C-alpha cells in the first residue's frame, strides 16, 4: 500500500544501544496471528518492554519518558532473523518513521522501505556520537534529510551522508510503492511469463 511521503525529519530519538536486535524481539511470533495490519505497535519489543505479568519494565528506553521522537537508534545488525514484515509494521505503528543503525539485516531494510520507514545506515563512529549525544541530552535533535541523504546532530558539526538507491529515494519522497511501478510494466511482465516454462 502507498504510504506517507518522507522528506525531512527533525526530532529527538529513542536509543536502543543493543547489537543484533532480531525481529523476534521487535515483534514476537505469538503476535503474528492478525489478518489485518493494525495494532502491531502495542507489541513492539513486547518482551523487552513488559514483564510477563504485563507490567512495564521501567528501564527499557521505550518506557522511559525522557526519550521521545520518531527516530529509533539501534546497535549494529538491526533487524536480523525472520522476514516478518510485522516487525517493520510494529516500528511504524508505534510512531517511528526512521531507524538508524550502523548495519541492517537485508530483509528488514527492504521491509522498512516498503512500509515507509527510512532505514539510515551510518558509520560505527557516527552511531556512537548519536548515542553519546542522547546520553548527554535525551532531547538532542537529529535531522534526517532524504533529499540530500544526510543525517546530522543539531548544534554540533556532526553530519554524515547515507546511501539509498535513487529509485527507492524517489518512492519515499513521493509516497509511491513498488506495486504501482510493477503494475505499469505488467504487459512486459506478461510477455516474459509467456516464454518462461512452468
Binding site for other proteins (CB under 8 A): 1, 17-20, 22, 24-25, 28-30, 32-37, 47, 52, 75-77, 80-86, 88, 103-107, 110-111, 114-115, 165-168, 177-179, 181-183, 185-186, 188-189, 192-193, 196-198
Residue 112, CA distances (Å) to 15, 97, 138, 159, 169 in order: 18, 9, 25, 23, 13
Of 173 and 179, CB closest to other proteins: 179
- Please report, to the nearest 10 degrees, the dihedral formed by the alpha carbons of residues 151, 156, 157, 161 taken in order: -10
- With the C-alpha atoms ordered 97, 100, 104, 106, is the resulting torsion angle positive or negative? positive
Q: Which residues pair with 152 in a beta bridge?
A: 143, 159
**C-alpha span between 24 and 83 (Å, rounded):** 10
Q: What angle do CA 59, 60, 66 make, to 5 degrees?
A: 80
- Relative to beta strand 150-153, strand 71-74 is unpaired
CB 105 → other proteins: shortest distance, Å? Answer: 6
Of 10 and 128, CB closest to other proteins: 128
CB 159 → other proteins: shortest distance, Å? Answer: 23
Of 88 and 122, CB closest to other proteins: 88
Residue holding cell 536486535? 21
**C-alpha span between 146 and 170 (Å, rounded):** 10
At 82, phi and psi to the nearest 5?
Answer: -55, 150
CB 157 → other proteins: shortest distance, Å? Answer: 25
CB 10 → other proteins: shortest distance, Å? Answer: 27
- Say if residues 73 and 101 touch (Cβ distance below 8 Å): yes
CB 110 → other proteins: shortest distance, Å? Answer: 6
Of 36 and 157, CB closest to other proteins: 36
CB 26 → other proteins: shortest distance, Å? Answer: 10
Of 50 and 141, CB closest to other proteins: 50
Of 161 and 198, CB closest to other proteins: 198
**Host H or E run for residue 171:** helix 166-174
Amino acid at each position: 500500500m502507498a504510504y506517507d511521503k518522507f522528506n525531512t525529519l527533525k526530532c529527538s530519538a529513542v536509543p536502543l544501544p543493543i547489537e543484533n536486535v532480531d525481529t523476534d524481539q521487535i515483534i514476537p511470533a505469538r503476535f503474528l496471528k492478525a489478518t489485518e495490519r493494525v495494532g502491531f505497535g502495542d507489541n513492539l519489543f513486547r518482551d523487552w518492554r513488559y514483564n510477563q505479568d504485563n507490567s512495564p519494565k521501567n528501564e527499557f528506553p521505550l518506557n522511559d519518558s525522557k526519550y521521545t521522537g520518531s527516530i529509533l537508534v539501534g546497535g549494529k545488525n538491526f533487524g536480523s532473523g525472520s522476514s516478518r514484515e510485522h516487525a517493520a509494521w510494529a516500528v511504524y505503528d508505534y510512531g517511528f518513521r526512521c531507524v538508524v543503525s550502523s548495519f541492517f539485516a537485508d530483509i528488514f531494510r527492504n521491509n522498512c522501505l516498503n512500509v515507509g520507514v527510512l532505514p539510515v545506515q551510518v558509520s560505527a563512529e557516527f552511531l556512537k556520537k548519536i548515542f553519546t549525544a542522547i546520553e548527554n541530552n535525551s532531547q538532542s535533535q537529529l535531522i534526517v534529510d532524504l533529499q540530500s541523504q544526510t543525517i546530522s546532530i543539531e548544534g554540533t558539526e556532526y553530519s554524515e551522508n547515507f546511501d539509498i538507491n535513487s529509485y527507492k529515494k524517489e518512492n519515499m519522497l513521493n509516497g509511491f510503492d513498488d506495486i504501482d511501478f510493477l503494475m505499469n510494466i505488467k504487459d512486459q511482465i506478461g510477455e516474459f511469463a509467456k516464454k518462461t516454462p512452468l
